[in-house]
Amino acid sequence: MPESPLELLDQIEASALSALGAVEAEDSLEAWRVAHLGRSSPLMGVFDRLGGLPKEERPAIGRRANEVKRLLESALAERAALLRQQALERTLLGERLDVTLPGRARPRGRLHISNQTLRQIYRIFAEMGFQVYRSRDVETDEYNFQLLNFPPHHPAREMQDSYYIQAPHAADNPIVLRTHTSPGQIRAMREYSAADPGNPPPVRIILPGMCYRYEQVTARSEVQFNQVEGLAVGEGITFSDLKGTLSDFARRMFGQGVRTRFRAAHFPFTEPSAEMDVECFVCGGVGCPVCKRAGWLEVLGCGMVHPVVLSNGGYAPERYTGFAFGMGSERLAMLRYRIEDIRYFWGNDIRFLEQF
């Protein structure tokens, strides 16, 4: 026990201050206040007992008791301010918004590789003055074969090679999903020549679109694929125009340095007919797995429009000549990007699609 009230007050002050230093939460301050400054605190006990002390001791003890009381009150206020400040800093730190953090990217859609390739082809031919002509996907045997000079026994006309549709039709003219874009040649020429039959205007068009063949699906052939057909008809068009146009196309498509070669071929609707190869742009013509060691890649079929086809379109072959070509645009994309399996195109596998 302390010997004197003054020593007791020293003790009260010291223990109250040390207890206050231990208070860490703002809402514990009230408990401290009740314990050390409240009605039944030791300090208030000193005030209560003041009256019972000898008269000469009272002023000094009273003064000291008041001093301890003021000191504790101001220490409480300081502590409260400090704790509030600390709490504020904690929330500021904890809930800080870092505006330099990169946002979460939204996945963006894009054009399918086939459409990208088609658009690139349109762009190149547009620069050479060719317009896009849209023809139909569902054709008649007449347009798909007969008017294009296919002989009746041609293997492409067999049921096994084409998708015939069960729709009302004349006995000799069944409905077929077009097996190539070439029937559009006849439709376009007929439309143009109908406008001025005696003097049909020149034609310079490309005809893109999906084609359908009843084939076994393999890495190299699908039952559907895009083709881009081309047709130029006018007076004085020669095989040189064909070669110049298609060689230029190859350079714009595959690179300025690329070389082309034309090999004789056969198509019923062109005469003479050819196939165009481009020098393998992977190995530069030396021979590699992409070109199967040949150094050349076949990219399209072409030829001078057959006189029978011209006149079926309403263009007199005595006056007009023209050239035509047809390319498989997925095949071009496969060569360009070294895609080894055509089934990826319609497989809808996002891992394939997002590479382009």
Binding interface with ligand DAH (CB under 6 A): 180, 182, 229, 267, 270, 301-303, 324-326
Angstrom distance (rounded) from CA 154 to CA 161: 11
**Nearest distance from C-beta of residue 211 to ligand DAH, angstroms:** 7
Indicate the pairing of strand 270-279 with strand 260-265. antiparallel
- Asked whether the bond before 272 is cis by omega within 30 degrees of 0, the reply is yes
Residue 262 or 267: the one with the smaller Cβ distance to ligand DAH is 267
Question: Cβ of 255: how many Cβ atoms within 10 Å?
Answer: 11
Give the CA distances from residue 81 to residues 23, 84, 110, in Å, rounded to whole numbers and listed in that order.
Answer: 13, 5, 59
User: Encoding tokens for residue 285?
Assistant: 């013509």
**Nearest distance from C-beta of residue 245 to ligand DAH, angstroms:** 12
Residue 130 or 267: the one with the smaller Cβ distance to ligand DAH is 267
Residue 41 or 181: the one with the smaller Cβ distance to ligand DAH is 181
How big is the chain, counted in residues?
356
**Nearest distance from C-beta of residue 169 to ligand DAH, angstroms:** 22
Contact 144, 183 (CB under 8 A): yes
**Would you give the DSSP letter of residue 148?**
G
**Nearest distance from C-beta of residue 149 to ligand DAH, angstroms:** 11
User: Where do runs of H (alpha helix) occur along 208-238?
Assistant: none
**Amino acid present at 207:** L
Residue 69 or 178: the one with the smaller Cβ distance to ligand DAH is 178
Question: Cβ of 7: how many Cβ atoms within 10 Å?
Answer: 11
**Nearest distance from C-beta of residue 303 to ligand DAH, angstroms:** 4
Q: Which residue is nearest to ligand DAH (CB)?
A: 326
**Nearest distance from C-beta of residue 165 to ligand DAH, angstroms:** 19
Residue 62 or 268: the one with the smaller Cβ distance to ligand DAH is 268
